[in-house]
Each structure stands twice: as C-alpha cells, then as structure tokens.
Amino acid sequence: MPAHNISLIGVPLDLGAGRRGVDMGPSAIRYAGLLPRLTEAGFRVRDLGNLAAPVAETCPTPAPGEKLRYLEPIAALCAALADRVAACIEDSQLPLILGGDHSLALGSVSGAARDRRLGLLWIDAHADFNTAETTRSGNIHGMPLAALTGRGHPLLTALAGQTPAIRPEHVALIGIRDLDPLEREALRWSGVRSYTMHDIDRRGMATIIEEALAVVTAGTDGFHVSFDLDVVDPQEAPGVGTPVLGGISYREAHLAMELIATSQQMISMDLVEVNPILDERNATAALAVELALSALGKRIL
C-alpha cells in the first residue's frame, strides 16, 4: 500500500440536508474503526477532530420556500474546511474528510483546488447540480457540484479563491439515478462527463472508472474523490440521508476504489451522507471504512 500521510477531518454537518442525522456520520465512521484500520495498514494518520459545525436549533429558521436554506452558516463552515484541507495538502498530508451532508464538499473540494488545477471524481446517486433557480427543496446538499463548477450563489462558488473551483471538463460524475427535471437539463449542457447507472449496467464499472480517471487526470495536478454512500444500493448501505434503489453493489464500489488507488493521483477524499439513525448495526459506516482503505491502496492479495 502507498505510504500516505493522512489527516482525518470530521464535519458533523446536517444543515444542507432535508433529514437530520448525518451530523453523526463522522462519529459513526470513527466508531467503525477507521483510525486503527488505517494505522494497522501502515499509514501515518493524524486525527484533527471535528470542525465546529452549527446545528439547526441555533440558526435562524429558514423562511417557507427558501431556496438556499442555511446559506450563511454552511458557507462559513465550508470556508473553514477549505482552509483546513488546503493547509493539510500544503503539509504533504492526504485529507480524508468524514461527513456529514454533501454540502461539505464545497469546502473540501475548494480547499484541494487552491493553487492547482484539480480533477474531481463525484460518485453519487444524485448529480447535486441544482441552483436556487432549479431546486425543489432549497437544500444545499443538492447544489455543491453546480457551485464548484461556477453555478450558484457567490458565497458558494468562490471558496477556492477562483471561480469556478473546478473546470467542468475535469469532472466525472458516476452512479447517478435520481435527478430533478431542471437539474437534468443543466447537467446535459454543463460539460461534466456523466455516467448513469444505465451506463454502469451496460458497460461495467471497470470501463466506466477507467474512462472517468482519464477525464479527471487529463491536464490536472491530481484529483479529489467525493463519495456519497447513497451511490451504493440501500440493501448494502441503508444508513444514508437520501437512499435510492438500484445502486451499485458492494464489489462495484470496491472495484471503483481499487482502480482509483491504482492511478496514484488522488490527493484528497470525502465520505459523506452516512446517517447512523437509519443504519443497521453501523453497516454503512463500516462500508465507508472499507472503501477508504481500498481507495488508499488496500488489496485482496
């Protein structure tokens, strides 16, 4: 396995989601043995603890029909996370960010994109490509990929120090199967390379990941992996914020991570949307641990 120096960063955020509970995701993943498993595998790991995340009870209640729910506290937390991630990479650490809802990727990806041309591998059942103009819910966890590619409110698009944080042609989106109508149209014209579950079913995960890696490494200085556990079928990952039937299998998820490790160009990663309230014996958090190990180089033999 590669000799990475890894920094763990917890982000107990659920303001971006429509369902409570994902704020406990970092604790669930740690409880599943992430740090000792990484240490046993030979990695040098430092756990930086959790960022201080606001909770809904201490924030002003969004107005009915609000299209950017909890915008300011989410933006502030993501700005702090971007600074932390950028500092870790500058210190030759690989940041492994534990979520928390997917709006945190605004910070993790923006931090990784500072002072470099970054590729982005977004593995998710959802495109997260809404803006205030297209959203049905107003939940910001459905918007980070749009914002990272320059679409959306300035508080969300400028965290990397440049807009867009990521060029659309350097993004590959894998596993999508649940899109809003206006989001679908925006994605079609975005320049983002998108692979649906139909593509995976027809062509196989290995082919899709190999193509996606070519996208995110072409002309870049490395890539970030943003892995939403809801991309996995809910029979195998029940503890997620927004489960969608028909997801990838346990082995397809591991194969994707193993191929990512083979590229040796991943510089940061987040694991998001683990909701222990909905989980069964912490199975989804345990899966997150296993997938992190595979992405970092663990092999069967």
Active site residues: 102, 124, 126, 128, 141, 228, 230, 273
Cβ proximity of 81 and 16 under 8 Å: no
Cβ proximity of 141 and 241 under 8 Å: yes
Cβ proximity of 294 and 38 under 8 Å: no
Residues 6 or more apart from 119 whose CB is under 8 A from it?
Answer: 166, 170, 171, 172, 215, 216, 217, 218, 220, 222, 223, 224, 265
- The DSSP 8-state label assigned to residue 248 in this structure reads B
Sheet holding 44-50, edge to edge: 44-50, 5-11, 94-99, 266-272, 223-228, 119-123, 171-176, 193-196
Cβ proximity of 10 and 50 under 8 Å: yes
Half-sphere exposure at residue 155, Cβ-oriented, CA atoms within 13 angstroms: 15
